[in-house]
Chain A
Amino acid sequence: NAGVTQTPKFRVLKTGQSMTLLCAQDMNHEYMYWYRQDPGMGLRLIHYSVGEGTTAKGEVPDGYNVSRLKKQNFLLGLESAAPSQTSVYFCAIWSGYEQYFGPGTRLTVT
């Protein structure tokens, strides 16, 4: 996973707090994605971007915002965290053949 990094790896938030997850890629790819993984539900798409300055909603966008100001970085923000946002968050890029995933961020909201 050297080409896609996620910061932080772990985080515990209290309800109502805000935070930003950073996804960085060093491969100059256009398409980037944010997913969340919950037990028994696979991965679900939150938001995605098809290029610098663009963002679009996925399947479960509520409660999240994103920005892609630089091509290399895709930020996922939680403005007011809720316990329902406890999850593992994965960032991915489209390599041209498959989606390549970062190592994940485990977020707990208490």
Chain B
Amino acid sequence: AQKVTQAQTEISVVEKEDVTLDCVYETRDTTYYLFWYKQPPSGELVFLIRRNSFDEQNEISGRYSWNFQKSTSSFNFTITASQVVDSAVYFCALSEAGDYKLSFGAGTTVTVRA
């Protein structure tokens, strides 16, 4: 069975601070995919990134960066120089190849204060 744990329920920061969201996963599959989604207050789910199990390269996209470490089964997400528009719930998710069902973590609510 797959499992995704986001230990941080809520994080509150002041604008321009960096914030790191933790994600730890469990799976027996050797081929799997990891995702991060953003859910702003408007409620829609926005895809941010996908990582394949065989690709441990870290990725940076603007102020967002992701650190994937298979040795610790973690896929952490950092927002650098946070902005008020980053306030949202962020979900980490895991799927296996084949039917691509997603197992979600419980989500981390990020509040960025001006």
Interface secondary structure of B, over-half rule: loop
Taking a contact as CB atoms under 8 Å apart, the answer to whether B9 and A40 are in contact is yes
Closest B residue, CB atoms, query A45: B101
Q: How many residues of A contact B (CB 8 A)?
A: 26
Contact count band on B: 20 to 34
Determine whether B106 belongs to the interface, using a CB cutoff of 8 Å to chain A: yes
Closest A residue, CB atoms, query B48: A98
The 10 closest A-B pairs by CB, nearest first: A42-B104, A101-B45, A43-B104, A98-B47, A42-B106, A94-B100, A42-B107, A98-B50, A42-B105, A45-B101
Residues on A facing B (Cβ under 8 Å): 1, 31, 33, 35, 40-45, 48, 50, 56, 58-59, 88, 90, 92, 94, 97-101, 103-104
